[in-house]
């Protein structure tokens, strides 16, 4: 079952958020990693990812790559951010820094456990859009709800994607 937790950062600023999502997927870590490490493939399974454009190719394991993510949300706005891959430890963690409408850092942590993969996503972000900053004190709970809904849809989409690949004998996200 999806489990998402979202908490504001302890900085006291309502324009900063510290959001944590947990996914437990019935799939080997290699397959989960392959799907997450292929952001260009995310729009095929993550409903809120409208488009991913590679702005710069990276080196080993994608480090140094920059991708532009165009996200829709449960709310009536879109988010466009550029994410630079700054760390990649195969089958364990990926870290990226975002710039654009949201500035911050995202960290994917993967842990293999008896046929399952536990995934934790930590998103430390600062609101950049002026309207978001102005309304953050009032709308912080709505922003957290929106993030949780987008992440929940990602978990459900990835679960279906991995199940479809297992049924076809393929390895989703590996190409």
Q: At residue 146, what are phi and psi to the nearest 5 degrees?
A: -60, -45
Residue 149, domain member (yes or no): yes
CA nearest neighbour of 110 among 170, 150, 158, 43: 158
Q: What range does the domain containing 12 cover?
A: 3-168
Half-sphere exposure of 163 (CA within 13 A, CB side): 8
68 strand-pairing partners: 53, 82
pTM over 0.75: yes
Q: pLDDT by residue for the chain (175 residues), tens digit each?
A: 444 444 433 344 678 999 999 999 999 999 999 999 999 999 999 999 999 999 999 997 899 999 999 999 999 989 999 999 999 999 999 999 999 999 999 999 999 999 999 999 999 999 998 988 999 999 999 999 999 999 999 999 999 999 998 777 655 444 4
Residue 70, domain member (yes or no): yes
Structure tokens belonging to residue 92: 């364990």
Residue 134, domain member (yes or no): yes
Q: Are 52 and 67 in contact (CB under 8 A)?
A: yes
Residue 67, domain member (yes or no): yes
Residue 175, domain member (yes or no): no
Looking at the 3D structure of the chain, how many domains does it have? 1
DSSP E strand boundaries for the chain: 3-8, 16-25, 49-56, 66-71, 79-89, 93-100, 102-113, 116-127
Residue 118, domain member (yes or no): yes
Half-sphere exposure of 55 (CA within 13 A, CB side): 13
Residue 174, domain member (yes or no): no
Residue 113, domain member (yes or no): yes
Continuous H helices in the chain: 29-36, 42-45, 130-168
CA nearest neighbour of 27 among 156, 117, 113, 157: 117
CATH number of the domain encompassing residue 69: 3.30.530.20
Q: Are 51 and 70 in contact (CB under 8 A)?
A: yes
């Amino acid at each position: 079952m999806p489990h998402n937790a979202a908490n504001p950062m302890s900085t006291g600023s309502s324009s900063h958020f510290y959001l944590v999502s947990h996914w437990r997927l019935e799939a080997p870590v290699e397959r989960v990693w392959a799907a997450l490490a292929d952001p260009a493939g995310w729009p095929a399974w993550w409903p809120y990812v409208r488009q991913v454009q590679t702005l710069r190719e990276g080196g080993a394991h994608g480090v140094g790559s920059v991708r532009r993510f165009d996200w829709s949300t449960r709310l009536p706005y879109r988010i466009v951010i550029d994410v630079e891959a700054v760390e990649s430890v195969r089958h364990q963690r990926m870290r990226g820094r975002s710039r654009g409408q949201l500035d911050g850092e995202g960290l994917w942590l993967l842990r293999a456990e008896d046929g399952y993969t536990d995934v934790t996503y930590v998103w430390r972000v600062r609101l950049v859009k002026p309207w978001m900053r102005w309304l953050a004190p009032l709308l912080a709970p709505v922003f957290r709800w929106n993030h949780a809904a987008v992440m929940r849809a990602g978990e459900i989409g990835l679960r279906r994607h991995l199940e479809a690949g297992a049924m076809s004998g393929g390895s989703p996200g590996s190409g």
